[in-house]
Amino acid sequence: MGRDAWYGRDVLSILDFSRADLELLFDSADSIVDQPVRTKKSLAGKIVATAFFEPSTRTRLSFSAAALKLGADVIDLSPDVSSLLKGESLSDTMRMLDGYADLIAMRHPSEGAALLASEVASVPIVNGGDGSQHHPSQAMLDLFTVKRLKGRIDGLNYAVLGDIRYARSAASFLYGLARYKPGKVSLVSPESLRPRNEVKDTIKKVGLKTEQHDDLESIIADVDVIYMTRIQKERFPDPNEYEKVKGSYRITKGSLANAKKGSIVLHALPRTNELAYEVDSLPNAAYMKQARFGVPVRMALLDLVLGGAKK
Ligand code: CP
């Protein structure tokens, strides 16, 4: 299938993509990282729309930067000054963007919003996060970061830490890992932040074996990739529940003292207090590189979805 597998497709969940699809994306992103000066503007004449109904720094701006680097133009829907304020529906809004752009990258607080958009728009929809559900391009750049920094994804031991209940980046990362053959995958979180049934069921369905742990300390010496998450305060239905768990886990220099040599710490960012700034100076800290890989991975993604079967 090759590039045909990507061309014109919606990117709603990483589960819609096979290992071969992901490998093609990573090969393309590798060549962008290795040859950053591009003479060919493969998306010249195309328009990419961004429509973010929730705050974002990395996803929105790295999609814009990726599109601009490929020669596309970018238009941005700012929900706070759009006709949504006059009561226009999400589906009508997406129908409008469908007429103005060749691809729409969007984020919405409601689960299923990107799926709804894909049903009313004829152009590809890229889900930049829908509620607690999916964040496929984040998982793609996370896996790319592992492959780039560790040389492989298979056979490594992973610990996913923190808010695995509400963090779509954690769920999407686990779904992406299911396309590979990881070693041990440990989920480390307080009881109330363990995966929702829906996530547990999906992990089971895709055949990813996981172990539940209460703390990182007991397993850290054996972990190659520590995937940290922020507590998703904005997704707690009850603020009292958030108060009970806030500050319940944190990575510091001290907590990495027994970390495996060569292990890396990932975080989709933004961080709050779960990841101490003192960790930034350690060789394990890979999250800033990870965020920077957002541009080449999203360039590769846009080129595959919009660029056709050329090359
Ligand atoms: N990682 C991530 O989705 O960051 P933003 O919320 O800033 O887009």
Strand-pair category, 103-108 with 211-213: unpaired
CATH architecture assigned to 136-291:
3-Layer(aba) Sandwich (3.40)
- Pocket probe mutation, ligand 1, options 57, 76, 135, max atoms within 8 Å of Cβ: 57
DSSP 3-state of 132: coil
Residue 310 has pLDDT above 70, yes or no: no
Check: CB of residue 248 under 8 Å from CB of residue 229.
no
Active site residues: 58-59, 86, 107, 135
Domain range 2-134+293-310, CATH class:
alpha beta
Q: Out of 143-147, 151-155, 232-236, which region has the weakest mean confidence (pLDDT)?
A: 232-236
Calpha distance 137→299 (Å, rounded): 11
For 186, the enclosing helix (H) or strand (E) is: strand 185-188
Rounded Cα–Cα distance for residues 157 and 143 (Å): 13
Residue 1 has pLDDT above 90, yes or no: no
The whole-number average pLDDT for the span 97-111 is 97
Intrachain domains 2-134+293-310 and 136-291 with the same fold: yes
Determine what percent of the chain is predicted with pLDDT higher than 70: 98
Decide if pLDDT at 99 tops 60. yes
Give the count of alpha carbons within 13 A of 249, CB side only.
23
Nearest atom within ligand 1 for CA of residue 291: 1
All structural domains of the chain with their residue ranges: 2-134+293-310, 136-291
Q: What atom in ligand 1 is closest to the CA of residue 269?
A: 1
Phi, psi torsion values for 185, nearest 5 degrees: -115, 110
- pLDDT band, very low/low/confident/very high, at 186 (cuts 50, 70, 90): very high
Question: Which pLDDT tens digit goes with each residue over 235-266?
Answer: 777 777 777 778 778 999 999 999 999 999 99
Tokens of 100: 């103005």
The average pLDDT across 64-87 equals 95
Best residue among 58, 134, 172, 266 to mutate for probing ligand 1, ranked by most atoms within 8 Å of CB: 58
| pLDDT 10s digits, 202-216 | 999 999 999 999 899
Helices (H), the chain: 19-34, 58-69, 90-100, 113-120, 136-150, 168-177, 197-205, 239-245, 287-292, 294-306
What mean pLDDT do residues 205-228 have? 96
Using CB distances shorter than 6 Å, the residues near ligand 1 are 56-59, 129, 138, 268-270
Mean of pLDDT over the chain: 94
Distance from the CA of 287 to the center of ligand 1, in angstroms?
A: 12
Spacing, Cα 12 to ligand 1 middle (Å): 16
The rounded percent of the chain whose pLDDT value lies above 90 is 84
